[in-house]
Amino acid sequence: MVRTVAVADPGDLLAHLRGPASYAWVRHGEGMVAWGEAARVTVPPGPGRFAWARDWLAQTLGEADIDDQVRVPGSGPVAFGSFTFDPASPGSVLAVPAAVLARRGGRAWLTTIGRVPATLAPAAPQPATAPTGPVRYGDGSLSAPQWQHAVSLAVERIRRGDLKKVVLARDLDAVAERPIDLRALLSRLTRRYPACYTFSCAGLVGATPELLVRRTGEAVESLVLAGTTARAATPAEDAARGTALLSSGKDRHEHACAVDSVRDALAPLCKDLTVPAAPELLKLSNVQHLASPVSGRLSESASVLDVVAAMHPTAAVGGTPTGRAVELIGRLEGMDRGRYSGPVGWIDARGDGEWGIALRCGSIEGSHVRLFAGCGIMADSDPAAELAEAQSKLRVMQDALEGR
């Protein structure tokens, strides 16, 4: 039995999280949080994994008795998911939480499954937890000099004409003195990065600026981000950096590759598609991005997972051409990315949903966190500058872990 009822404004969504099985998808204070698990599956690896996940969800929810008194995208039963970057890698997860609390557009609702009470009782006040303590960091798969060398090798391949762009990721190990307080970590991320999609799914936690796809009926939207510069200390210098980013040939070319990737993926699925002629600036608290919002209408009934399957991996996380770039990633990164840079988000029983790309994130196990960041490498990329950009992106999770 699945029941969705309207509720009064719950206030801070994250304050209602409870238990170790907690899920979240929040932006500008709206979105959803969830707890408990009515159903969960590890999605088998392989090229058909998104279709497998779609079919598993349809079968799982097909037997449900649904009483949805709200009837908007995200009401009724919802599944949270997180997929690995590499289709051959294990670890993709899809879960149907036992309770989902959501707020969007001035409305709030609560969905419960089975014997979970269909009333909203606030979670117990968050106890004054001890700080995680000092956080120790160590190299991941590659040290900083080794990663810079990998960037140099990628630049050589691009200059030879083997490909146009490749996105290289760097991982970093972090160990805190005490287990990570998930609710506190998510609260810090939403407070500092309100324009990002703060997410939690099966141990993967982060704040991504990149919306892979939103499906609402036949309408689809995507936000393409590629091309980055750090924020500055003064408004004048910050504006100058934004202007330089907009006029940078290297960054504009990188962005164009990412936009073309999204256009090529969505065009066969859409009866119309709107792509901006030029990017705009998206300013976050730590970096500025070149951004292009893409929108369209689906020509056939396709769930959001069908659209995700067509779009992943985009040039923003793989490169151009995608096949050659992904092959080079496997040779140079020296690691399995796991669910970093893979799709993460939610889907409801109607096939609506929102999915982002798992960026600015970490994989948490107790007091251990594996952090990730990536950079788009082009023909004129400078290894030292790319390392600095990766470090800037890693600071998102480092600051949250350290309580900043």
Residue 95: what residue type? A
Peptide bond into 313 cis (omega under 30): yes
Are 144 and 336 spatial neighbours (Cβ–Cβ below 8 Å)? no
- Phi, psi torsion values for 223, nearest 5 degrees: -120, 115
| DSSP labels, 363-391 | EEETTEEEEEEEEEE-TT--HHHHHHHHH
Catalytic residue among 37, 164, 165, 386: 165
Judge residue 47's burial from the number of C-beta atoms within 10 Å of its C-beta, 0-12 exposed, 13-18 middle, 19 or more buried. exposed
User: In angstroms, rounded to a whole number, what is the distance separating the alpha carbons of residues 218 and 1?
Assistant: 28
- Calculate the alpha carbon distances from 401 to 43, 63, 64, 144, 201 in Å: 29, 41, 39, 21, 17
Strands 66-68 vs 2-6: parallel, antiparallel or unpaired? parallel
Residue entry with tokens 């606030």:
122
Which are the contacts of 333, defined by CB distance < 8 A and separation ≥ 6?
141, 142, 150, 168, 169
Residue 9: count other Cβ atoms within 10 Å of its Cβ. Answer: 8
Exposure class string for 363-389: b at 16+ Cβ within 10 A, else e: bbeeeebbbbbbbbbbbebebeebbeb
Exposure class string for 276-313: b at 16+ Cβ within 10 A, else e: eeebebbebebbbbbbbebbbebeeebbbbbbbbbbbb
| DSSP labels, 315-378 | TTTSEESHHHHHHHHHHHS-S--TTTTSEEEEEETTS-EEEEE--SEEEEETTEEEEEEEEEE-
Does residue 283 have an active-site annotation? no
Catalytic residue among 63, 156, 177, 210: 210
- Chain-centre distance of CA 131, in angstroms? 26
User: In angstroms, rounded to a whole number, what is the distance separating the alpha carbons of residues 268 and 14?
Assistant: 38
User: In angstroms, rounded to a whole number, what is the distance separating the alpha carbons of residues 94 and 76?
Assistant: 16
User: In angstroms, rounded to a whole number, what is the distance separating the alpha carbons of residues 31 and 331?
Assistant: 38
Does residue 365 have an active-site annotation? no
Question: Which run of H or E residues covers position 244?
Answer: helix 235-247
Catalytically active residues, by annotation: 165, 210
